[in-house]
């Protein structure tokens, strides 16, 4: 809990800094309590100089993105502060988990809002391998939008997705298919078959790496088909 952290982290921080004064010491502020006044009160006991990482599950992010403000971040008792994306892992989603979801738009959103409101960084769970194209492209979005928070989605698609997926039109279809299967907890098997077949038509496009990415999307859809939804 945040009160446990307030009791234990100062001692841990002091011991770590005594051994290596230039160490970056992160403190993860669990769970989804960035807007909780009780948590803020406990956090007044935390030392300056730690890097305070505020977790945000996807459901909490939907609230945080509209309620967080620059004034609120400046007034936090913990400084400096970063956001922690609890995505690209098993911690979100329904029975499918969210491990292989396409999170690029969410990472772009978090980077832009975090930058606007004065958060000093963004971290990500990053559990699955980037072999899976939806994961790989999400990680690329994480890297690009945290480096350049004012980057537009259109530029990102043109500069990062299009060369990796066989062109602009193909990239837009990849995003649309990935977001359709993520958005819908259940889809008719017939619809999944149509989407898988479309993905397979791109497997030979744009060289081996583009084809591999489309094949991984087709496999992701095929697993949904196998489960019947």
Q: What is the pLDDT along the chain (229 residues), one digit of tens a residue?
A: 677 888 889 999 999 999 999 999 998 887 788 898 877 778 888 998 899 999 888 888 999 999 999 999 999 988 899 998 877 777 666 666 678 899 999 999 999 999 999 999 999 888 889 999 999 999 999 999 999 999 999 999 999 999 999 999 999 999 999 999 999 989 999 999 999 999 999 998 767 799 999 999 999 999 999 998 8
Tell me what pLDDT residue 93 has. 64
The SS3 assignment for 171 reads helix
Tell me what pLDDT residue 206 has. 63
């Amino acid at each position: 809990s945040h009160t446990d952290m307030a009791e234990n982290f100062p001692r841990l921080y002091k011991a770590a800094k005594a051994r290596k004064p230039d160490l970056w010491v992160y403190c993860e502020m669990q769970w989804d309590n960035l807007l909780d006044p009780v948590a803020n009160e406990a956090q007044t006991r935390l030392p300056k100089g730690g890097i305070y990482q505020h977790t945000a599950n996807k459901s909490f992010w939907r609230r945080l993105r509209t309620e967080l403000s620059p004034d609120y971040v400046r007034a936090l008792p913990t400084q400096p502060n970063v956001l922690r994306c609890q995505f690209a892992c098993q911690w979100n989603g329904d029975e499918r988990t969210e491990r292989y979801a396409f999170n690029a738009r969410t990472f772009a959103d978090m980077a832009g809002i975090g930058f606007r409101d004065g958060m000093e960084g963004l971290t990500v769970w990053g559990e699955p391998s980037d072999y899976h194209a939806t994961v790989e492209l999400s990680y690329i979005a994480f890297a690009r939008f945290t480096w350049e928070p004012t980057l537009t989605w259109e530029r990102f698609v043109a500069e990062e997705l299009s060369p990796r997926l066989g062109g602009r039109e193909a990239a837009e279809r990849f995003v649309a298919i990935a977001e359709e299967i993520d958005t819908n907890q259940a889809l008719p098997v017939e619809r999944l078959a149509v989407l898988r077949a479309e993905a397979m038509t791109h497997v030979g496009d744009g060289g081996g790496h583009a084809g591999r990415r489309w094949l991984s999307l087709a496999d992701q859809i095929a697993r949904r088909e196998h489960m019947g939804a």
